[in-house]
């Protein structure tokens, strides 16, 4: 089984090159060797933009088209919309019961965002709780990896704490000890003793070696013991750790190296700052936008030398150009041998070339919106199967299985 990846994106407008290079490109790559779940985080968008229903409503399917245009493949990735799966809300509610308020107040994005988005009233219950909603999004699919930017790393950390606490509180319910004993009884006596020894050592010293040996034994049992399933393995793994059964899986953040692409004016690329090149901008607009980009202010006249390190165009060259072109830029900029418009041309060409397959794929979807709806429908149902199975275990563990 391939490890599962889950990530979400808020539907707040058309996607731009910053989204592509900062996240989407990585999502596409992960499809090769992971079981990928990608969703439209429409509830998340409402945590900050609860007054902007039009933007969200208008953007949901457009964003899915941007994803498909970038190369997400519905055969390999499960693509869905958060609000179509009320199970996310149910898990959020259940997790909320035992989550200390301090855990949420201490999430660094909480105070940061309140300071940054001064024009909005974010003193809301939903805004404080949204990292917990994110935890529910992740845990409900038992994701192993979550590709997120630096800014969201603390949310994955919170998710891990929430999972640990849940397993600790509820993982021992339902006759846990008896089930462990029954599973162990199916192993040869020598293995039982060996397992107990590793568990004891791990419990006392936290030895990674003991953990590894115990884990290896569980894997051997899974391969050798007739009728041994993943339930038995999870049971023992929880027991080995000294906790209860693992009901919710602790995910790991996946920080792949991403290339940061600034906006046209050098600040963060964002549609609301009006400094973005959109994934589906027409070539003429791309040309116009990049020709108008901010450059090193020292280059007032064509004959004034400049410094690429002080110029956002250079960041584009880092993403889009090869070594030869970059040498040409450094050399030409510092000696005033080239003008800024000369310098920008290879970037313009590269962006337009990069967009070509996106534009083609997007065209086939905009011409046939039913196809996009169908893809989302399929993904939503696939996601529902997984979410329902998790919720069944969660309800049972919490004693809500009437």
- The footprint of ligand TRP (CB under 6 A) covers 6-8, 10, 41, 44, 134, 137-138, 146, 148, 152
**By C-beta, is 60 or 343 nearer to ligand SF4?**
343
The residue within the footprint of ligand SF4, chosen from 296, 383, 386, 393 (CB under 6 A), is: 296
Q: Tokens 């409402």 belong to which residue?
A: 46
The residue within the footprint of ligand SF4, chosen from 308, 375, 376, 394 (CB under 6 A), is: 308
Beta strands in 241-349 (DSSP E): 252-254
394 binds ligand SF4 (CB under 6 A): no
**By C-beta, is 145 or 195 nearer to ligand TRP?**
145
Site string for ligand SF4, 109-148 (x = CB under 6 A): ----------------------------------------
Please give the DSSP secondary-structure letter assigned to residue 24: I
72 interacts with, out of ligand TRP, ligand SF4, none, CB within 5 to 8 A per kind:
none
The residue within the footprint of ligand SF4, chosen from 134, 295, 321, 390 (CB under 6 A), is: 295
- CA dist 318 and 148 (Å) reads 22
- CA dist 49 and 52 (Å) reads 5
**By C-beta, is 79 or 236 nearer to ligand TRP?**
79
Residue 109 Cβ vs ligand TRP, minimum distance, rounded to whole Å = 9
- CA dist 120 and 109 (Å) reads 15
Only segment of 32-40, 119-127, 270-278, 309-317 that touches ligand SF4 (CB under 6 A) = 309-317
Residue 307 Cβ vs ligand SF4, minimum distance, rounded to whole Å = 7
171 interacts with, out of ligand SF4, ligand TRP, none, CB within 5 to 8 A per kind:
none
- CA dist 390 and 188 (Å) reads 32
Residue 137 Cβ vs ligand TRP, minimum distance, rounded to whole Å = 4
Cα separation values, 100 from 32, 97, 105, Å? 38, 8, 9
Residue 9 Cβ vs ligand TRP, minimum distance, rounded to whole Å = 6
333 interacts with, out of ligand TRP, ligand SF4, none, CB within 5 to 8 A per kind:
ligand SF4
16 binds ligand SF4 (CB under 6 A): no
20, 279 in Cβ contact below 8 A? yes
| SS3 (DSSP) at 265 | coil
Provide the sign of the torsion angle of the four alpha carbons 338, 343, 345, 350, taken in this order.
Answer: positive
The residue within the footprint of ligand SF4, chosen from 37, 127, 176, 314 (CB under 6 A), is: 314
Beta strands in 229-315 (DSSP E): 252-254
CA 193 to chain centre: 42
Tokens representing 377 are 């429908």
63 binds ligand SF4 (CB under 6 A): no
**By C-beta, is 231 or 309 nearer to ligand SF4?**
309
Site string for ligand SF4, 333-362 (x = CB under 6 A): x----x-x--xx------------------
- CA dist 278 and 276 (Å) reads 6
303 φ, ψ to 5°?
A: -85, -5
- CA dist 394 and 402 (Å) reads 13
- The 10 Å CB-count burial string (b at 16+, else e) for 206-230 is eeeebbebbbebbeebeeeeeebee
| SS3 (DSSP) at 295 | coil
**By C-beta, is 160 or 317 nearer to ligand SF4?**
317
Only segment of 27-35, 68-76, 303-311, 385-393 that touches ligand SF4 (CB under 6 A) = 303-311
């Amino acid at each position: 089984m391939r490890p599962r990846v889950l990530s979400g994106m808020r539907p707040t407008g058309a996607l731009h090159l910053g989204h592509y290079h900062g996240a989407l490109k990585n999502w596409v790559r992960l499809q090769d060797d992971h079981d990928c779940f990608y969703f439209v985080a429409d509830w998340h968008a409402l945590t900050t933009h609860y007054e902007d229903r039009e933007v969200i409503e208008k953007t949901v399917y457009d964003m899915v088209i941007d994803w498909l245009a970038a190369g997400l493949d519905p055969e390999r990735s499960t693509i869905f919309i958060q609000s179509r799966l009320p199970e996310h809300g149910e898990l959020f509610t259940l997790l909320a019961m035992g989550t200390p308020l301090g855990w949420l107040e201490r999430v660094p994005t909480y105070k940061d965002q309140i300071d940054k988005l001064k024009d909005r009233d974010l003193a809301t219950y939903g805004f404080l709780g949204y990292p917990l909603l994110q935890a529910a999004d992740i845990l409900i699919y038992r994701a192993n990896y979550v590709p997120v930017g630096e800014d969201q790393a603390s949310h994955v950390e919170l998710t891990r704490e929430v999972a640990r606490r849940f397993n600790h509180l509820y993982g021992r319910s339902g006759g846990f000890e008896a089930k462990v004993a029954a599973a162990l009884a199916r192993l040869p006596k020598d293995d039982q003793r060996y397992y107990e020894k590793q568990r004891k050592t791990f419990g006392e010293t936290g030895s990674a070696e003991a953990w590894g040996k115990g884990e290896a034994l569980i894997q051997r049992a899974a391969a050798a013991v007739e009728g041994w399933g993943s339930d038995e393995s999870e049971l023992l793994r929880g027991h080995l750790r000294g906790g209860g059964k693992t009901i919710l899986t602790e995910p790991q953040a996946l920080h792949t190296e991403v290339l940061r692409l600034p906006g046209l004016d050098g600040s963060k690329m964002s549609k609301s700052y009006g400094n973005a090149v959109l994934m589906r901008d027409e070539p003429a607009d791309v040309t116009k936008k990049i020709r108008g980009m901010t450059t090193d202010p020292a280059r007032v006249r064509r004959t004034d030398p400049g410094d690429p390190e002080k110029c956002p165009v250079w960041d584009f060259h880092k993403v889009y150009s090869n070594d030869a072109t970059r040498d040409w830029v450094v050399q030409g900029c510092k000696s005033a041998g080239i003008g800024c418009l000369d310098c920008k041309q290879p970037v313009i060409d590269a962006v337009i070339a990069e967009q070509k397959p996106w534009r083609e794929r997007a065209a086939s979807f905009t011409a046939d919106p039913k196809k996009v709806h169908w893809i989302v429908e399929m993904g939503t149902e696939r996601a529902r199967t997984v979410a329902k199975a998790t919720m069944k275990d969660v309800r049972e563990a919490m004693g809500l299985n009437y």
